[in-house]
Structure 1
Amino acid sequence: MWCFRIASNQTSHRPFCHLEEDDSFEDAFDRIPAAGNMDLQTAIQETQCALNLVLNNKFSQALDLLKPWWRDSMYHALGYSSILVMQATMTFEHRDIQTAMATIKEALHTCQSWKSVCCIGVFAGEMHAELCYAECLLQKATLTFVQDENMISFIKGGIKIRTSYQIYKDCQNVLNATQDVAGQSDSFRQFEGGVKLGIGSFNLMLSLLPQRILRLLEFIGFSGNRGFGLSQLREGASSHSLRSILCVLTLLFYHTYVSLILGTAEGNLVEAEALLEPYQQKYPKGSIILFYSARIAALRGNFEKARAKYEECVSSQQEWKQIHHLCYWELMWTHSYQQEWEQAYQYADLLCKESRWSKAIYVYQKAAILSMMSEEELKKTGENVVELFRSVEGLKQRLAGKSIPTEKFAVRKSRRYKAANPIPLVIPLLEMMYVWNGFTIVGKRADCAESLLVTIEKAEEQLRNDPNPSEFHTDDSCLVQMLKGLCLKHLGRLLQAELCFTQVLSSEGRIRYDHYLIPFTLYELGLLYKQQGDFLKATTYIENAKTNYKDYSMESRLHFRIHAALNSLKGSPAGTP
């Protein structure tokens, strides 16, 4: 077999696009090169060109560029499998997953071959092959988690992740040992960028895990440092390597999604905007770039700008409909934040019809939106809300042998409609808004928070004046009080918010079904005390939620948030949790 060559005087295959810092990535880079010998530098450059095509919405062309070499070149194999994995994880189509899995297995074989036969020295060839192998293993683990419905697959995925993690650690050791010798050659910079992406991502991911999970992982060799992970990703993002944009996308995902769903919503939007800005110049119509531009606008409370960007993202390409579905989800929520229920319904309906991610959640959310409408608005849709809720349980799916927590939540809530005379849910869409931490976003807009407060207080009054309270009355009242407290907190009415939260806690013994309300309220009250500067009290309430409650809806999600909140309280004036 032939061997990769990195020496500058070996130019039998001239790179078809020379990428410098100030390249504008125009269509000149979109043509497929003639066949010839493939060296390492050219392989990296062609994979970079394929990545540029993806960022310019030319997904099929990117695959066409990589396909001739994907069984022979480790970087072509990595790029080719990455695109197919991205597609499979967005579609959840069995056929797409199978195709991506077969491609990854071939890519792993290609990388393994290069580890075995490389003849140009340990650093340049073998370690690049190790790096690509680790990335492919991570991809395979991702697909293993979603491919089969049993715990064996879950364990297999975990083993692949552990192997990948160990390879990255070995690569980091090599990087540290060869830094002075290797200098700043392009091959070294590319290797360094890959190590920073892997080590940074692992440290950031592991730092998010609750202590009870992290203790188990530390026993088998995992550890995570968030500050170190973020610093590695930031260095990788500024390195002008093949993986720079991947570091950027990882940081953007952390700041705009992970910190909100699994943390305390303290993502750094200033940094996110700074990271995105140069790519907005290079890929002004790129759907991925437009999507994150829209997401940042939404998190700043500029829902009008966000919707315009999401709509632009949808119209920017028609090849990958999955990106449309991500936009529909976000458009549904931006309309919901402003209680524009008819528009929100349109996007919820599109998701039900087109996306395969979670039919149970989509149908539940559609039914929840319809529940918020007036009788006149509901009549125009022609939908039967009761039948929609009743259908949710039959749509539940299992991933890695487990149900999706939010699906389980939706199924449990929708069971109220199984009875011949169902007891309607109270403001169910606002409850789901809380599940996805949407009140943190609404809190950026006082007008929206005030409007939601009016809706919540109407529900509160209806419950107070109900002549025949149902078995769900206390649960519904506690839900309303918790959501009211959140609105009041974001409006700066902290004492009133505290009263709402304590009212929920005083009803603990009378809650029959929605037991999640107590630990979540303890957590929210802890955050309220943190906002007021009472860090000791904040820690006490959050620790109470962590230690004294179990087996409730979305328990793991709350433990992620608790972990983030306690970390943010460490070193604060009142002591350390």
Structure 2
Amino acid sequence: MSHFFISFSNSSPMTLEESLDECMEALDLFLNNHFNESMERVDESMYHALIYATVLEMQAMMTFQHDDICDAGATMKSAQDLCQRWVYSISSNVDQSALVEHATQHDCKQLHAEVCYAECQLQRAALTFLQDENMVSFIKGGIKVRNSYLIYKELHSYVKSQSCLKGPSHTHLEGGISFGIGAFNLTLSLFPPRILKLLEFAGFSGDKDYGLSLLDDGATAPNLRSMLCVLLLLCYYTFLTFILGMAPLHPLLRSLTHPLGAIFLFFAGRAEEMKGNIDEAVALFEDGCKAQQAWKQFHHMCYWELMWCFTYKRAWKMAYFYADLLSKESRWSKAMYIYMKAAYLSMLPREEERPFGEDEVDLFRQVPLFKQKIAGKSPPTEKFAIRKARRYKAHCPVRLSVPVLEMMYMWNGFSMIKNRPELTEGIIQTLVEAERTLLESPENEYSLDDRCVVHLLKGMCLKNQGLLQGAEECFHKVCSSEKKLRFDHYLIPNSMVELSLLFIERGRRDEAIKLLHKAKNNYKEYSMESRTQFRIHAALAKLKAGSVDEDQTHP
């Protein structure tokens, strides 16, 4: 895709309504895989500039190439400058409370320019976090986020006021504001209470239900940002809530438009995967790869899911194949891809020939070499993979017991197969074999940790099978080994979380709350801590909401 920078003539030959209509057509082309054709419809209006810059940012985030990130940032800055021509009160030196007063004095285009400006500011902040790792960049990004939030907030107050005049393009304006305010509220609500209190002190607010309702409104109304609202909701319901074990499928997943678009084929596949329809998911992900060839990065999203689909089926070589493709083509997390390649090879019988003549020990030793930083920090999953791979540094390494299934737990993969008893049974067979191997092997410094990993995963399988007493015993075994664990300290708080969720399922609410608070407050600096803390926060919030409902129904 060719890159360009927006020019700054005095005005666009198009009216606001005409540019919005053309941008809607361009977006529709984009969502139906006609990427190049959609970008040919570029004019000099602020909406054309914003749409083009947004597409470049999507590309940059998927390629993770430094040049793409820089190009997207420069183009987004040009789009923001174009919007600023229509904005008189937006700058870091102007009191944001004056925004509404100015908005009432100028035409509709002024308001659209302000919401476009806020969107550019927010997207530039995201690129700033990706591009640089130093504290100055974080501060700059934080200022952009705050400015964007304040603009959205003032605009939201204005469009809800009686003085707001609703013209023909008002639905697009409301859609942009719903997207901004909804995204902020949803994102902020996911932070643990301690961090959220600090953010609220700084003027931010995070109401999850309110954010979701605004995004739902934006997604269902015919406006330019409806697809952005849809995509954000899809990401929330098919990834974040599922990985954190927070919510069921959303009705949005049953009414996807653009059925042949690569993006929506991907999310349709993800929806089938979440329901346990693994073969159907595989077919959709494969269709997603066939749907277009212009952006290979869409393929990488499908490869990642295909890798997990074949993991659930214990087709280790097929899963390895997709991990290998990702390691060669994607820049997002090479350390993770190399780790998964090694993990899949380690699941094969020792006497079985390895694909491409690769050796898992060599691959595990390579994992730390591909460590990277995003937004100034190494991704938690990479840190986890690097820690697990350390034992292969030794001249005679002690092999990991079930590294694939352990990582599957981290991505909440056991929930994917809870409705597929034959898949759960297959995983149990693998765990029983691993347990037998550990018992028959000489004791070493990793033995207890490895046995506890197996107990945790076995407990997840028994829970899937409805054997709750057996699952509880497995989780208790891990918790009782707390003082003896040497490396995998994450096992204790996670086993407590699983045990508490089991107690909730069995009606033992008070025990669950006590255990969740213990897991939350007594354990720090363990692998994937943020994920576990988010799960604790979600479980406590759900229990609190349940008690409120009970109070309301039983006065």
**TM-score above 0.5:** yes
Deviation of residue 380 (structure 1)? 4.4
Deviation of residue 95 (structure 1)? 0.9
Deviation of residue 120 (structure 1)? 10
Tell whether 2:138 aligns with 1:154. Answer: yes
Find the aligned partners of 1:380 and 1:87 in 2 and give their Cα distance.
32
Deviation of residue 63 (structure 1)? 2.0
The one-letter code matched in structure 1 to 2:19 is A
Find the aligned partners of 1:122 and 1:561 in 2 and give their Cα distance.
47
Aligned partner of 1:106 in structure 2 is 78
Aligned partner of 1:397 in structure 2 is 372
Task: Please point out which of 239, 246, 251 is paired with 1:270.
Answer: 251
Q: Deviations over 1:215-264 (max 9, x none)?
A: 22111111111111111111111111111122111111111011022x32
For 1:87-102, list aligned pairs within 5 A: 87-102=59-74
8 Å contact 1:119–1:125 — kept in the other structure?
no
TM-score (norm 2): 0.92
Find the aligned partners of 2:116 and 2:215 in 1 and give their Cα distance.
17
Tell whether 2:33 aligns with 1:57. Answer: yes
The one-letter code matched in structure 1 to 2:182 is G
Aligned partner of 2:95 in structure 1 is none
Find the aligned partners of 2:201 and 2:103 in 1 and give their Cα distance.
37
Find the aligned partners of 1:121 and 1:212 in 2 and give their Cα distance.
41
8 Å contact 1:535–1:572 — kept in the other structure?
no
For 1:341-420, list aligned pairs within 5 A: 341-420=316-395
Aligned partner of 1:508 in structure 2 is 482
The one-letter code matched in structure 2 to 1:525 is L
Find the aligned partners of 2:451 and 2:207 in 1 and give their Cα distance.
41
Q: Deviations over 1:307-336 (max 9, x none)?
A: 001101101100000000000000000000
What SS class does the counterpart of residue 40 from structure 2 fall into? helix
The one-letter code matched in structure 2 to 1:88 is A
The one-letter code matched in structure 2 to 1:113 is R
8 Å contact 1:74–1:107 — kept in the other structure?
yes
For 1:171-182, list aligned pairs within 5 A: 171-178=155-162, 182=165
Find the aligned partners of 2:114 and 2:162 in 1 and give their Cα distance.
16
Deviation of residue 152 (structure 1)? 2.2
Find the aligned partners of 1:120 and 1:562 in 2 and give their Cα distance.
45
Find the aligned partners of 1:122 and 1:566 in 2 and give their Cα distance.
47
Aligned partner of 1:163 in structure 2 is 147
8 Å contact 1:3–1:39 — kept in the other structure?
no
8 Å contact 1:115–1:125 — kept in the other structure?
no
8 Å contact 2:118–2:147 — kept in the other structure?
yes
What SS class does the counterpart of residue 116 from structure 1 fall into? coil
What SS class does the counterpart of residue 13 from structure 2 fall into? coil
Tell whether 2:225 aligns with 1:243. Answer: yes
The percentage of counterpart residues that share the same residue type is: 49
Find the aligned partners of 2:39 and 2:354 in 1 and give their Cα distance.
47
The one-letter code matched in structure 1 to 2:193 is Q
8 Å contact 1:332–1:343 — kept in the other structure?
yes
Considering only aligned residues, what root-mean-square deviation do their CA atoms show, in Å?
A: 2.0
Q: Deviations over 1:37-93 (max 9, x none)?
A: 111111111211121121011222222212x42xxx211111010000000000000
Tell whether 2:210 aligns with 1:228. Answer: yes
Q: Deviations over 1:383-405 (max 9, x none)?
A: 11100000001110112321111
Tell whether 2:285 aligns with 1:313. Answer: no
8 Å contact 2:125–2:144 — kept in the other structure?
yes
What SS class does the counterpart of residue 537 from structure 1 fall into? helix
Find the aligned partners of 2:156 and 2:193 in 1 and give their Cα distance.
26
Find the aligned partners of 2:494 and 2:353 in 1 and give their Cα distance.
32
What SS class does the counterpart of residue 169 from structure 2 fall into? helix
Q: Deviations over 1:507-558 (max 9, x none)?
A: 0000001111101111111111111122211111111111111011111111
8 Å contact 2:246–2:535 — kept in the other structure?
no
Deviation of residue 374 (structure 1)? 2.0
Unmatched runs of 5 consecutive residues or more in structure 2: 1-7, 90-101
Aligned partner of 1:17 in structure 2 is none
What SS class does the counterpart of residue 87 from structure 2 fall into? helix
For 1:397-546, list aligned pairs within 5 A: 397-466=372-441, 468-546=442-520
The one-letter code matched in structure 1 to 2:176 is G
Q: Deviations over 1:78-123 (max 9, x none)?
A: 1010000000000000110111011011111111111139999535
8 Å contact 2:306–2:319 — kept in the other structure?
yes
The one-letter code matched in structure 1 to 2:495 is T
Aligned partner of 2:531 in structure 1 is 557
Find the aligned partners of 1:547 and 1:139 in 2 and give their Cα distance.
35
Q: Deviations over 1:139-196 (max 9, x none)?
A: 11111111012232222212211111111101101111147x534x322111111111
8 Å contact 1:205–1:224 — kept in the other structure?
yes
Task: Please point out which of 264, 267, 273 is paired with 1:289.
Answer: 264
What SS class does the counterpart of residue 203 from structure 2 fall into? coil
Deviation of residue 284 (structure 1)? 3.2
Aligned partner of 1:219 in structure 2 is 201
Find the aligned partners of 1:138 and 1:211 in 2 and give their Cα distance.
23
What SS class does the counterpart of residue 408 from structure 1 fall into? helix
Aligned partner of 1:128 in structure 2 is 112
Find the aligned partners of 2:419 and 2:226 in 1 and give their Cα distance.
31
Q: How many residues align?
A: 531
Unmatched runs of 5 consecutive residues or more in structure 1: 5-35
Find the aligned partners of 2:405 and 2:194 in 1 and give their Cα distance.
31
Find the aligned partners of 2:368 and 2:455 in 1 and give their Cα distance.
28
Task: Please point out which of 21, 45, 48 is paired with 2:21.
Answer: 45
The one-letter code matched in structure 1 to 2:146 is R
Find the aligned partners of 1:268 and 1:545 in 2 and give their Cα distance.
27
TM-score (norm 1): 0.89
Query: Aligned pair in 2 of structure 1 residues 537, 133: CA closer, same or farther (>3 Å)?
Result: same
Query: Aligned pair in 2 of structure 1 residues 190, 573: CA closer, same or farther (>3 Å)?
Result: closer
Find the aligned partners of 2:17 and 2:10 in 1 and give their Cα distance.
12
Deviation of residue 572 (structure 1)? 3.0
Query: Aligned pair in 2 of structure 1 residues 301, 135: CA closer, same or farther (>3 Å)?
Result: same
The one-letter code matched in structure 1 to 2:434 is A
What SS class does the counterpart of residue 395 from structure 2 fall into? coil
Aligned partner of 2:239 in structure 1 is 257
The one-letter code matched in structure 1 to 2:211 is G
8 Å contact 1:345–1:369 — kept in the other structure?
yes
8 Å contact 1:443–1:491 — kept in the other structure?
yes
Deviation of residue 492 (structure 1)? 0.5
What SS class does the counterpart of residue 118 from structure 2 fall into? helix
Find the aligned partners of 1:496 and 1:151 in 2 and give their Cα distance.
49
Deviation of residue 444 (structure 1)? 2.6
8 Å contact 1:251–1:272 — kept in the other structure?
no
